[in-house]
């Protein structure tokens, strides 16, 4: 197992594979009150790799490529963009960027991925005369070139990649097979996933 604090700008990449358990707190944290601002993203595994071995890899903030372009700070979290390649490994061809745009800044997003979307964390951006505010995700049409303009200082996440096909999601389980979801539900209910060392609480399987 692993115990790994995460600091601003760092990446904790967990691969669930055929099954994993984790806790996002330490025992000492239960007696304190604190605030955390971060983003958690789930990435489906390609067919043929859904039952791979579970894994966990930590990448410090200093390992993530960062560049400045046209009043935009770009961090290449996964994939290759703007001449920089991230060391973070992915099981499929994908792109994950963090953008911090100054007011009035403009940026054209990479167009070499079949699927592309952006999520506005703060501020607002305009694409083709359509404004997207904080909390909104904009999904590009296939083949669409995205050029965004920041209406104010804005913080944006960009994600893209190749289509992986349909996935079924139930609670914390994701799989291309409904039968595999049912097996995971049964295994969780029977305690076959194991327990995080030092964690005393158990989250029961939801009733629906």
Average of per-residue pLDDT across 178-204: 89
Residue that is written with structure tokens 């050029």 in the block: 147
Over 80: is that where the pLDDT of 145 sits?
Answer: yes
pLDDT (0 to 100) of residue 207 = 85
Local confidence band at 28 (pLDDT 50, 70, 90 cut-offs) = low
Q: Which two tokens stand for residue 20?
A: 């994993």
CATH class of the domain defined by 64-161: mainly beta
> 67-100 pLDDT, tens per residue?
999 999 999 999 999 999 999 999 999 999 999 9
Q: Within 10 A of 196 (CB to CB), how many other CB atoms are there? A: 16
Partners of 8 in beta bridges: none
> 63-75 pLDDT, tens per residue?
999 999 999 999 9
Over 90: is that where the pLDDT of 1 sits?
Answer: no
CA 99, distance to chain mean position in Å, is 14
d(CA 132, CA 126): 6
* Mean of per-residue pLDDT scores for the chain: 93
70: left (phi over 0), alpha (psi -120 to 50) or beta: left
Give the residue, 124 or 1, on which the prediction is more confident: 124
- In the chain, residues under CATH classification 2.60.120.10 are 64-161
Specify the pTM.
Answer: 0.91
Encode 93-105 in three state secondary structure. CEEEEEEEECCCC
pLDDT (0 to 100) of residue 10 = 95
pLDDT-wise least confident of 12-26, 120-134, 148-162 = 12-26
d(CA 174, CA 15): 12
Over 70: is that where the pLDDT of 7 sits?
Answer: yes
Q: Are 41 and 159 in contact (CB under 8 A)?
A: yes
């Amino acid at each position: 197992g692993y115990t790994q604090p995460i600091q601003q700008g760092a990446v904790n990449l967990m691969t669930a594979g055929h099954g994993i358990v984790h806790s996002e707190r330490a025992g000492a944290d239960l007696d304190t009150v604190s605030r955390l601002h971060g983003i958690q993203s789930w990435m489906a595994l390609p067919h043929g790799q859904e039952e791979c071995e579970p894994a966990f890899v930590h990448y410090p903030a200093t390992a993530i490529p960062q560049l400045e372009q046209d009043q935009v700070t770009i961090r290449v979290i996964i994939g290759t963009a703007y001449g920089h390649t991230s060391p973070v490994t992915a099981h499929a061809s994908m792109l994950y960027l963090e953008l911090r745009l100054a007011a009035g800044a403009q940026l054209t997003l990479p167009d070499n991925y079949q699927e592309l979307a952006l999520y506005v964390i703060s501020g607002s951006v305009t694409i083709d005369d359509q404004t997207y505010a904080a909390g909104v995700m904009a999904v590009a049409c296939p083949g669409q070139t995205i050029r965004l303009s920041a209406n104010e200082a804005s913080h944006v996440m960009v994600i893209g990649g190749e289509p992986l096909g349909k996935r079924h999601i139930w609670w914390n389980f994701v799989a291309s097979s409904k039968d595999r979801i049912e097996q995971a539900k049964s295994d969780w209910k029977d305690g076959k996933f194991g327990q995080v060392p030092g964690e005393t609480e158990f989250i029961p399987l939801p009733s629906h």
